[in-house]
Structure 1
Amino acid sequence: MTYETSESAEVSPTSRGTGSGLRSRWNKVPEVTAYFWVIKVLCTTVGETAADLLNENLGLGLTGVSLLMSVLLVAALVLQFRTSAYRPGVYWLSVALISVVGTLISDNLTDNMGVPLTTSTTVFALALAVVFAVWYRRERTLSIHSIDTGGREAYYWLAVLFTFALGTAAGDLLSERMDLGYWLSALLFALTIAAVAVAHFALGLNAVWSFWIAYVLTRPLGASVGDYLSQPAGDGGLGFGTVVTSVLFLAVILGLVVFLTVTRRDVTEAEREAAHTS
């Protein structure tokens, strides 16, 4: 499933001024291919199970784990911002960590502060809408094919953080508070993503909005899958546990990232040629 094909990637190695500073040499995010969506869903699953695993075993409490993972996320994003082009290892490390942090933010609000899931879901949705509004007003585009300045990259990662927090809250709201169960919630989100794909490819739904809607929906999809695999049978899961589920999915993510690093299947032809000649 590939979105945003109607807008070409901006890969010119020029540096010119914009409202957000000088343009970087290359786009800083991967092309939207099947690999992108597979790794994204895997990262969302790891975000759910790893957050539970760390909270249960580190002995730091939910707040302590949240602070630790936030520090690691900041370090990963510093590396990401310092790169001049998309690097699979750095990029997907940032996505995996932001998935964990987004889960922990939602869990803190629900478990530590007693904020209802309906409230947190609404707040995260509004926050994401504000980020999109400011991003579009400043840059006149929300396309991930043009994440080639510091400002656009900052908007992009802030939006990604809120999509993960929103997806966590919405997924928990459906699977737990509305008592749909994990597998039924996963099926519902998968069908909704399929409907978005049909609306885009068959009915002409805007490519950028199709991408971001699907991006939000993959978070609760992955979380529901993660909970279904890891939670005990008595709670509606298969009982594999957070350790087995997290390690398995992390291994698959690592394998795919290594594959993409070697093959460059998730970058444009121009970037592949530049990598060969540089």
Structure 2
Amino acid sequence: MDVASAWRLLLTTTTEKPLLEAASKVPALTLGFWIIKIAATTLGETGGDWVTMSLNLGYLVGTLIFLAAFVVLVSAQVRAYQFSAALYWATIVATTTLGTTLADFCDRSLGIGYPGGVAIIVALLVLSLAIWYRSEGTVSIESVNTPRVEWFYWTTILFSQTLGTALGDWVAGDDRGGLGLGFEVGAAIFGAALVVVGLLWLWRGVSRTALFWAAFVLTRPLGATLGDLLDKPVAQGGLHFSRLYASVILLVFIVLCVAFIPQRAANRSPSA
């Protein structure tokens, strides 16, 4: 390395990192990724409900608490020099818990019911994707290679998590305009939809970017219904585990997965 190159490297800040280095912070889409993702979404449901309901802090206070954690962790993720599985999944968990409390706040505290909450969150998700696409020309995860795009990515992740929670509650719940299908049926519906997405992934004619976001949204209501299945009363179709107990078990499972499931950084597509 010559002196000029060394000097440029020394002056490189966390907001001006080389594109390839920044892209390495996004994990590759492997089976392990989706296993941890579903566990994280389930933890988001049980953990969010524990803070807002079991601790009786309410949806607004819970949302503010998890919003603070979200901002701190995303900022750390953006400033990181390389991919860190622990930091990435901690940030994902922050989006799942915030998504749970934010969806509950829209559905319940605002008094607009599940259909109204779903409509608002769908609009926010579409708006986030539209702004991202207008700014960058793509919403592919392979394009997440600058701090600005990372904020687009994490904002879209948050809204997709929130939408997943709202969808899960709408399908399973029998109040506030819910469809009343129950948690088991809801989990089966979203699980079947994920199987369809997985099969479409094998078909090269379908956009991989669209399938990724579809899968990311669908894993959230699957996790939400699984979380509800764990902690809701037996009379409501749940197993009536303690929210705290269920959350601790899920957290330990996620930590073990992150520690022992091999993960690698995604490669940036040259066409992204």
Question: SS where residue 26 of structure 1 aligns?
Answer: helix
> Alpha-carbon deviations, 1:155-177, whole Å to 9, x = none?
10010011011111111110011
- The list of structure 1 runs, each at least 4 consecutive aligned residues, that deviate by more than 2 angstroms after superposition, is 20-24, 56-62, 265-270
- Kept in 2, the 8 Å contact 1:51–1:100? The answer is yes
Give the drift of 1:203.
6.4
Q: Within 5 Å, which residues of 2 pair with 1:178-197? A: 178-197=179-198
Q: Within 5 Å, which residues of 2 pair with 1:8-47? A: 23-24=18-19, 25-27=21-23, 28-47=25-44
CA distance in 2, matches of 1:123, 1:246: 28
Q: Please point out which of 121, 131, 136 is paired with 2:128.
A: 131
Q: Could you tell me which residue of structure 1 aligns to residue 234 of structure 2?
A: 233
> Alpha-carbon deviations, 1:227-266, whole Å to 9, x = none?
1121111111112221221111111101111225xx5x33
CA distance in 1, matches of 2:267, 2:120: 40
Q: Within 5 Å, which residues of 2 pair with 1:136-175? A: 136-175=133-172
**For structure 1, which segment, 121-130 or 90-99, has the greater mean C-alpha deviation from structure 2 after superposition?**
121-130
Q: Would you say 1:86 and 2:87 are equivalent positions?
A: no
Give the drift of 1:269.
8.4
**For structure 1, which segment, 232-241 or 196-205, has the greater mean C-alpha deviation from structure 2 after superposition?**
196-205
* TM-score normalised by the chain length of structure 2: 0.86
Q: Structure 1 vs Structure 2: percent identity of aligned residues?
A: 32
Q: Would you say 1:222 and 2:223 are equivalent positions?
A: yes
Q: Would you say 1:120 and 2:121 are equivalent positions?
A: no
- Kept in 1, the 8 Å contact 2:142–2:267? The answer is no
* TM-score normalised by the chain length of structure 1: 0.84
- Kept in 2, the 8 Å contact 1:32–1:266? The answer is no
Aligned length: 249
Cα distance, 1:115–1:155 mapped onto 2, change above 3 Å: same
CA distance in 2, matches of 1:58, 1:231: 16
Contiguous gaps of at least 5 residues in structure 2:
1-8, 10-14
CA distance in 2, matches of 1:134, 1:193: 26
Q: Could you tell me which residue of structure 2 aligns to residue 52 of structure 1?
A: 49
Q: Could you tell me which residue of structure 2 aligns to residue 101 of structure 1?
A: 98
> Alpha-carbon deviations, 1:106-161, whole Å to 9, x = none?
11122212122111211211221121122112212211122110111011001001
Q: Please point out which of 65, 75, 86 is paired with 1:68.
A: 65
Q: Within 5 Å, which residues of 2 pair with 1:250-269? A: 250-260=251-261, 263=262, 265-267=263-265
Q: Could you tell me which residue of structure 1 aligns to residue 207 of structure 2?
A: 206
CA distance in 1, matches of 2:56, 2:116: 29
- Kept in 2, the 8 Å contact 1:43–1:253? The answer is yes
- Kept in 2, the 8 Å contact 1:31–1:145? The answer is no
Letter aligned with residue 193 of structure 2: T
Cα distance, 1:123–1:49 mapped onto 2, change above 3 Å: same
Give the drift of 1:204.
2.8
Give the drift of 1:23.
4.3
CA distance in 2, matches of 1:193, 1:60: 34
> Alpha-carbon deviations, 1:187-219, whole Å to 9, x = none?
000001111111221363211101110110000
> Alpha-carbon deviations, 1:30-63, whole Å to 9, x = none?
0000111011111110111111111234343322
Question: SS where residue 138 of structure 2 aligns?
Answer: coil
CA distance in 2, matches of 1:232, 1:36: 31
Letter aligned with residue 146 of structure 1: S
- Kept in 2, the 8 Å contact 1:131–1:158? The answer is yes
Q: Could you tell me which residue of structure 1 aligns to residue 4 of structure 2?
A: none
Question: SS where residue 128 of structure 2 aligns?
Answer: helix
CA distance in 2, matches of 1:126, 1:55: 25
CA-based RMSD: 2.0
Letter aligned with residue 191 of structure 1: A
CA distance in 2, matches of 1:227, 1:72: 23
